[in-house]
Homo-oligomer: A and B are copies of this chain.
Amino acid sequence: MMGQDRPRTRIQEKNRATILDAALEVFSQHGFRGATLDQIARAAGLSKPNVLYYFPSKEAIHATLVDGLIHDWIEPLRALGPEGDPVEEILAYVRRKLEMSRTMPRESRLFANEIVQGAPRLGPEITGAFKVLVDEKAAMIRGWEEAGRLAPLDPYHLIFSIWATTQHYADFDVQVRSILEPKGDVHFAEAEAFLTALYRAALTPPGPATG
């Protein structure tokens, strides 16, 4: 419950970081209940009691992890700004999200595990902040649409669809790979091309004969 937030030595910082990385690995793969302190300790190269020397409980490790990741996780949406061409701006958002699925799949699965199970460990501060941010960006998108700079699509469902399509490559990675088989990570380049085409076609306003 209470965070261990007094000054720490370098070795303390290092061990905490090691534990958090190990915990990210284990929690993202097995979910909160499926993860064990034993697995986390082993992944961190420490003994179980030693892990609990740095964090008061398994739940505290998870909470610290979530708190530390949430900022980076919503950064791409925060960065969706009013400058530039709306279509290109949203396409850039899609690409940033896809890039996060490629480079931070564990973080994506950590959140996916939580949300699928009803987000019992994601406090109202987190979900609340999320809603405020989405409302803000949805209003901006709505403005673009009313100005005729974007095809008229429900902004909320547009955002949901971008989350769904991009996070899919991290959250459902095993399924994607089992279907696409051998190719290593090539499918991320394919996915980027596909999603760019999908959203460009849907977002471009009907405008006066652009072809």
Contacts and interface: CB of A to CB of B under 8 A. Distances in A.
Number of identical monomers bound together in the oligomeric complex? 2
A178 B130 contact: yes
A79 interface: no
A47 interface: no
A174 B112 contact: no
A69 to B, nearest CB: 16
Nearest to A175: B115
A202 B200 CA distance: 8
Interface residues of A, number: 54
Interface residues of A, dominant DSSP:
helix
A154 B117 contact: no
A32 interface: yes
Interface string A109-127: 1001101111100000001
Contacts of A131: 178-179, 181
Contacts of A32: 34
Interface of A: 29-34, 109, 112-113, 115-119, 127, 130-131, 134-135, 151, 153-154, 156-158, 160-161, 163-165, 167-169, 171-172, 174-176, 178-181, 187, 190-191, 193-195, 197-198, 201-202, 206, 211
Contacts of A116: 31, 109, 112-113, 116, 171-172
Nearest to A160: B168
Contact of A154 (B168, B176, B193): B193
Contacts of A195: 157, 161
Contacts of A160: 165, 168-169, 172, 176, 191
Contacts of A161: 164-165, 168, 194-195, 198
A160 B172 CA distance: 10
A33 B156 CA distance: 33
